[in-house]
């Protein structure tokens, strides 16, 4: 996972933990100050790597894995 993918994944996980609902691309784009198409390209990459999954065509994104920093702290 690239550093930018990792950052987007961590932000998505944080937003999901706070809301318990799928995270919209526009929310992530606004939070990160980037265009939604730019963020979507990274989300699709994360989906292909099975870190996240898409909910419908416009339903948002859900994490399918925990961020590495969470799983390493749980193992300790």
CATH number at residue 30: 1.10.10.10
Whether the CB-CB separation of 55 and 62 falls below 8 Å is answered with yes
For position 23, what pLDDT does the model report?
97
Greatest C-alpha distance within the chain: 39
pLDDT tens by residue, 20-72: 999 999 999 999 999 999 999 999 999 999 999 999 888 899 999 766 654 44
How many domains, the chain? Answer: 1
- Opening angle at CA 3, ends 73 and 58, nearest 5: 95
Whether the CB-CB separation of 31 and 39 falls below 8 Å is answered with no
Nearest in space to 9 (alpha carbons), one of 48, 55, 51, 37: 51
Provide the domain limits for residue 65: 3-75
For position 76, what pLDDT does the model report?
42
For position 66, what pLDDT does the model report?
67
């Amino acid at each position: 996972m690239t550093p930018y993918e990792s950052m987007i994944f961590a932000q998505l996980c944080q937003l999901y933990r706070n809301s318990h609902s799928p995270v919209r691309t526009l929310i992530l784009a606004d939070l990160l100050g980037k265009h939604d198409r730019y963020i979507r390209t990274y989300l699709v990459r994360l989906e292909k790597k099975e870190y996240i999954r898409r909910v419908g065509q416009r339903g948002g994104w859900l994490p399918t894995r925990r961020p590495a920093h969470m799983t390493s702290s749980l193992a300790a």
